[in-house]
Amino acid sequence: MNALEENFELTAFLGRRGILARPEIRPVRNLSELSEVYQLTHNSYVESRYATPHTSKMLIHYPYFDHLPETTVLVATLHDEIVGTVSYTLDGPSGLTVDEDFGPACQAERAAGRTVAAVWRLVVDEKHRHQREIVTSLIREVIMGMRKHSVQSCFFAVNPKHAEIYKKMLNMREVAQKQITKGLSNAPAVLLVGDPYLLPARIIPPDASFSNTITIPVLLNLHAF
């Protein structure tokens, strides 16, 4: 076990004992909360230079997907404040967010007869990024959702500098690269794909109830586009 894994196991251990505040993870409840998601995304992407500031202080990357029945927009809250968010979309008539940038790779998984989905828009408020339990809880909930819907291939587009971490920690493999992500700037992306049921046992056992230790890699300014 390396230092990164130990750090996350310690975070989970302290969180279970109430030493660290644990966020509540739930779907957005209304348009007002969705607007907060857009504001959080704007602030995080502008800070990372993936986008330029907008007068609205909102960034709506895939507006159409936010309102599909196949999409779940999750938020992490601490003391009733939204401090993080992640979205995932199950495959359907409208496809996936990553189809636009990585169509052939997505089609290859479909052609293999696999049930596919995509994780996107993973952001955490800057002042709460030291609380790694926020991201671990968000990803935990995503994995639960994927397994609930029997997803076999989960796509995850990330900045290339984070790709190796996810490939190692979540048993993901790289299937495509792109130097420009549509709608963003200075945002090259690597498309990873993994099976939610084939995670390393030390991360999440296949039959996990998610009450056990979870070790998920988190770095500052880590985004799923």
How do the domains of the chain map onto residue ranges? Answer: 22-194
What is the full per-residue pLDDT of the chain (225 aa) written as tens digits?
444 444 445 555 555 544 457 899 999 999 999 999 999 999 988 887 878 889 999 999 888 999 999 999 999 999 999 999 999 999 999 999 999 999 999 999 999 999 999 999 999 998 887 787 898 889 889 998 999 999 999 999 988 888 898 888 788 999 999 887 766 666 788 999 999 988 776 556 555 554 443 444 434 344 555
Q: Residue 122 is encoded by which pair of tokens?
A: 């993973």
> Exposure of 3 by Cβ count < 10 A (0-12 exposed, 13-18 middle, 19+ buried)?
exposed
Looking at 1.10.3720.10, 3.40.50.150, 3.30.390.30, 3.40.630.30, the CATH number of the domain 22-194 comes to 3.40.630.30
The pTM is what? 0.81
- The whole-number pLDDT of residue 129 equals 78
Cβ neighbours, 10 Å, residue 50: 21
- The whole-number pLDDT of residue 30 equals 95
- The whole-number pLDDT of residue 186 equals 61
- The whole-number pLDDT of residue 209 equals 54
